[in-house]
Structure 1
Amino acid sequence: MKHELIFLGKTKDSFISAGIDNYASRLKHYTKVSTRTLKEKKSAGNPDISLEGRQLLEAVPAGWFIVALDSRGGQFTSEKFATVISGWEQRGVKGVCYLIGGPTGISEEVVARADLCLSLSKMTFTHDMVRLLLMEQVYRAYTIKAGEKYHK
């Protein structure tokens, strides 16, 4: 199964980009993972959440499972997230796209279309930080599944 994180706009801080790249490199031992950065859509100079939502959805390959990152989504422990990923693999899910909105969030259209709406915390993070936290949690899930000591 392949995992793809789709973002809007470039990651601004180099330390976050380096962390994302680090976990992506580590994940190659367990699964295929990639990131894709889409250009933010603006209307009258401001982010247009509706246009961005359509852009995110259009980027999802046909037949892939969609996970929308949103503060209103469900939360999992790391162990439960590992179990969820195992379930996707057992069901033969070809790929999972994690959709991360821009600074103004993610559109209702994306949330409605998602197969899973996921929140990483009750706290608020920058959309750039969410990219890194999600990549780390996908990596952690695979180390849990493999019974490795990283999780402890």
Structure 2
Amino acid sequence: MKHELLFIGKTKDRFIQDGIQEYSSRLSHYTNFNITTLKDKSTSKNKSALESIEAQGKLLLDAVPQGALIVALDSRGQQFTSELFSQKIVDWEISGTKQINYLIGGPDGIADVVLKSATLVLSFSKMTFTHDMVRMLLVEQLYRAYTIKNGEKYHK
């Protein structure tokens, strides 16, 4: 199964970039994983925050291949333990899912059209994280899910 992380704009902080790179490298030993950074063309002095969010949502959805399962990250989504998230991935594998695309919105949030298109809306916490941090947390949790699946000691 292929996992692809789609997000708008570059990750700004070096320590987060390093974390994403580290966990991406680890994850590649278990599954096909790719990160696609989409260029944000939606920010403009003439656009409201809502118009920017909607334009970003269209950009995200246009980048999802036909037939891919969509997981949108949003604070209003469903929360899992790491073990249950791992089991969710196993369930998708068993059901024959070929590709999962994880969509993360920009700093102002994610478009409702993305949330409605998602098979799963996922939240890491009721707390708020920067969209950059969520990128790293997602890659770490995917890596953790695969170590749980394989019975390895990373998850304690």
Give the TM-score category using the shorter length: over 0.9
Aligned pairs, number: 152
Q: Which residue, out of 73, 98, 104, partners 1:100? A: 104
Residue 82 in structure 1 maps to residue 96 in structure 2: no
1:134 maps to what in 2?
138
Matches of 2:68 and 2:58 in 1, distance apart? 16
Counterpart in 1 of 2:119?
115
Q: Deviation at 1:29?
A: 1.0
Matched, 1:26 2:30: no
Q: Which amino acid aligns with 1:2?
A: K
What displacement does 1:77 show? Answer: 0.1
In 2: Cα distance, 1:129 partner to 1:33 partner? 18
Letter of the structure 2 residue corresponding to residue 27 of structure 1:
L
CA distance in 2: counterparts of 1:64 and 1:101, whole angstroms: 18
Separation in structure 2 between the aligned mates of residue 69 and residue 43 of structure 1, nearest angstrom: 24
Once residues 59 and 44 of structure 2 are traced to their aligned partners in structure 1, the CA distance between those partners, rounded to angstroms, is 14
CA distance in 2, matches of 1:95, 1:86: 13
2:92 corresponds to which letter in structure 1?
W
Give me the whole-angstrom Cα distance separating, in 2, the residues matched to 1:130 and 1:52.
Answer: 17
**2:146 maps to amino acid:** Y
Gaps of 5+ in 2: none
Give 1:45 shift: 5.5
Per the normalisation by structure 2, the TM-score is 0.95
Gaps of 5+ in 1: none
Seen in structure 2, the aligned counterparts of structure 1 residues 142 and 49 have a Cα distance that, compared at 3 Å, is same
Aligned to 1:151, the other structure's residue is in SS state coil
Alpha-carbon distance in 2 for matches of 1:57, 1:144: 30
Query: Which residue identity is paired with 2:2?
Result: K
User: What is the RMSD of the two structures over their aligned residues, measured on CA atoms?
Assistant: 1.0
| TM-score normalised by L of structure 1 | 0.97
Q: For the residues of structure 2 that align with 1:87 and 1:26, how far apart are their CA atoms?
A: 22
Distance 1:151 1:107, change over 3 A: same
Partner letter of residue 72 of structure 1? R
The residue number in structure 1 matching 2:95 is 91
